[in-house]
Amino acid sequence: MLAFLAGGFWWYDGLQAARELQLAGVYQRRPYAEFLVNSPGAFALVIGPAVAIGLARRASAGVVLTGVALLALLAADLSGYARGETERVWLPFAPWLLLATCALSPSLRARQGWLALQVATALALQVAAKGPW
């Protein structure tokens, strides 16, 4: 966070800018309950199955950082402040959650399997997801 602050970016200002964009756009037509479920679901797809299993195994390495990242995401979701802004607000937390993969098997074959599963998931999402851009 200090590096971002040194570069002139403050997280709260970023959230405030996202909020202003929402209020100027389709925010009123975005139901809170829908994004309460959709944002975590989209983010779970983005971080992939290896991170999900790592979080379930609760890696001792990075458990504090992953826990804090999850709490921040929970707060963003419950507040409704970042409704549908997964790509702007949530993605910077993905690297912190990648630490959870430390709980996966240390064997090379197992690591290659998890990497293959992550790549297959990413490719499937790329092919299946259709967006206006």
Average pLDDT, the chain: 81
Handedness of CA 123, 72, 95, 7 (dihedral sign): positive
Residue 127 has a CB neighbour count (10 Å cut-off) of 8
Confidence at 132, pLDDT banded by 50, 70, 90:
low
Nearest CA to 16 out of 85, 69, 72, 92 is that of 85
| Mean pLDDT, rounded, for 98-104 | 81
d(CA 56, CA 59) in angstroms, rounded, equals 8
Which has the closest alpha carbon to 67: 54, 80, 82?
Answer: 54
Q: What is the distance between the alpha carbons of residues 102 and 58, in angstroms, rounded to a whole number?
A: 9
- Distance, in Å, from the CA atom of 128 to the CA atom of 124, rounded to the nearest integer, reads 6
Taking only the tens place, the pLDDT of each residue in 14-67 is 777 877 877 777 667 777 888 888 888 888 888 889 888 888 887 565 678 888
* pLDDT for the residue 61: 58
With bands split at pLDDT 50, 70 and 90, how would you rate the model's confidence at 13?
Answer: confident
The domain ranges of the chain are 33-124
Residue 85 confidence (pLDDT):
65
Pick the residue with more confidence: 112 or 63?
112
Q: Please give the single-letter amino acid code of residue 17.
A: A
What pLDDT sits at residue 133? 59
